[in-house]
Amino acid sequence: MASIETISKRLSWLPKPVARYFEKKMKNVGSVQQMIQKESDKVEATLEHTLKPYRGRYDSYPTIPKQGIDREKILADMQQMHDDEIGTWEGGYVSGGIYNGNKDHIDFLNKVYALQSQSNPLHTDIFPSATKFEAEIVSMVAGMMNSANTPDGAQVCGAVSSGGTESILLAMKSYRDRAYEQGITAPEMILCDTAHTAFDKASHYFGIKQVRIPMRADYGIDVEAARRAINRNTIVMVGSAPTFPHGIIDDIPALSEIARQAGIGFHTDSCLGGFITPFAEKLGYKVPVIDFRLPGVTSMSVDTHKYGYAAKGTSVVLFRSPELRHYMYYTATEWPGGLYMSPTIAGSRPGALSAACWAAMLSMGEEGYLKATKAILDTADWIRSELKSIPELEIMGDPLWIFAIKSRDESLNIYEVLDQMGKKRWSLNGLHKPSCFHIALTLRHTQPGVKERFIFDLKESVAYVKANPGNKEGLAPVYGLAATLPFRGVVTDILKKYLDVVYKV
């Protein structure tokens, strides 16, 4: 972007009255830029304080040390960091993030990981156990998504990925590559504004145009608007089960049928809910069908490292047919290094994570998942009921276990409430468009006393903000700035600054 000074010089050729008009406008722009820079500096200071709490407490290593550091010291420092951090989630203060957290479960996964720490699924000849683990993970998740109950005898298949984002990327790549073979050179995807941002990433990486559909008043996708958006370049439609922001399950039966009739793909993104909705259905909760029982569903993403209780770093992408899965693969036949093939984006991968995922699913079993789901949904029912006793707040839509909470009164700044909850140790997710925050309930929240503490702290936080409005500290100004700035490029710069701070030593 050209500087104000450069632009001013370019005005010299204009007639003087016109030049004076633009110079006046540029002065206003300059003042706006100064304001933005001032706010940006405040944001950076806040981020430095938040993201670098260990600065000065531990030795820093910006370069490889001349002599190796004693292993006992390394372990002692890591143990201290672990002890500092476990308190932030062990007590049930975190939205999502840690989905199980039971010590016995973690110890078990750590033992499994240690046994497989050198495993790499790229080398199938050396680590055939990795192929066993991953094939069975995919089969178990496919079965959970009713691969045996398809109306067309579909051969549901898939792959293990590094997380929900990669599962979504792989699915979108498959639709794009298939579309190229069909002669579609300007592919488009249809998705709601509430769809996970990984689809936006896929759009950027793979050159797929996004056709955004607004959410309805109930925060689900507008089905008829999605139908009208289909054109000859449309290759896939997306539905969420549930959406990350508000926990709403889109109308997957209607959307997938529209896609089927149009001859395009349909992807159910159940990264967040894949290990909740099947068991909620078995428990008698009113849950729409989201899986391969619907003939229009051609792919799904399901995260095993969330409510599947695996270690972080695994997810499953499923396809209705092996033919569609083939577009996901990468193969090279002319490389001097030999024949090469990779099912997912990465080449080498940590086989220990797949082993831990496999072990987690086996140790939980269907009975364990049913029990966990019931505990979470019982807690959600209680919190939903108690939130009604806070007249200043309301739950957005009708979610099962992920509650987006907004203010009924514009004079109550919901981000200031979020900051007050942060001071009470709660780590919740700030959202915008509209302004709100959410809590994704996990097994951590089913511990005795946690749900009661959440409601108590929330009531206190609301009361404090009502009595002391206009807080200028914490993250409230950051969220407020991001929500109100008309210059979205500035917000992008703030996000990039956040990442810069992450990598500062």
Tokens of 418: 């979020």
Write down the residue that tokens 């981020």 correspond to.
47
Compute the average pLDDT of residues 462-489: 70
Closest CA to 432 of 469, 481, 372: 481
Percent above pLDDT 90 for the chain: 80
Q: How confident is the model at residue 470 (pLDDT cuts 50, 70, 90)?
A: confident
pLDDT at 16: 60
**pLDDT at residue number 49:** 74
SS3 317: strand
Per residue in 398-408, pLDDT (tens digit) is 999 999 999 99
Average pLDDT over residues 238-248: 97
Query: CA–CA distance from 340 to each of 128, 158, 308, 458 (Å)?
Result: 17, 19, 31, 55
Question: Which phi and psi angles does 425 have, rounded to 5°?
Answer: 85, 0
Coil, helix or strand for 383?
Answer: helix
CA-nearest of 297, 232, 296 to 270 is 297
pLDDT in the model for residue 494: 74
pLDDT at 350: 96
DSSP letters, 246-295, are T-PPP-HHHHHHHHHHHT-EEEEE-TTTTTTHHHHHHTT------STTST
* Alpha carbon separation from 437 to 282, 421, 458 (Å, rounded): 30, 11, 12
- Give the pLDDT confidence of 112-141 residue by residue, as tens digits: 999 999 999 999 999 999 999 999 999 999
Q: Give residue-wise pLDDT tens across range 264-280.
A: 999 999 999 999 999 99
In whole angstroms, give the CA distance from residue 472 to residue 211.
Answer: 37
CA–CA gap between residue 23 and residue 224 (Å, rounded):
48
Instruction: Kindly compute the dihedral angle of the four CA atoms of residues 406, 410, 414, 420, in this order, to the nearest 10 degrees.
Output: -140
The per-residue pLDDT for 294 is 98
| Rounded distance between C-alpha atoms, residue 35 and residue 470, angstroms | 19
Residue 499, SS3 per DSSP: helix
Q: Is the pLDDT of residue 415 over 90?
A: yes
**pLDDT of 484 higher than 70:** no
DSSP state for residue 310 in the 8-state scheme? P
Cα 491 to Cα 478: distance, rounded to the nearest angstrom: 10
Contacts of 191 (CB under 8 A, 6+ apart): 199, 210, 211, 212, 213, 221, 237, 238
Question: Is the pLDDT score of 11 beyond 50?
Answer: no
pLDDT of residue 475: 59
The residue-averaged pLDDT of 173-188 equals: 98
Average pLDDT, stretch 69-80? Answer: 96
**Residue 236 bridge partners (DSSP):** 189, 265
Nearest-angstrom CA–CA distance, 148 and 132: 20
Q: Between these two residues, 494 and 57, which has the higher pLDDT value?
A: 57
Average pLDDT score, the chain: 91
Output the pTM of the full model.
0.88
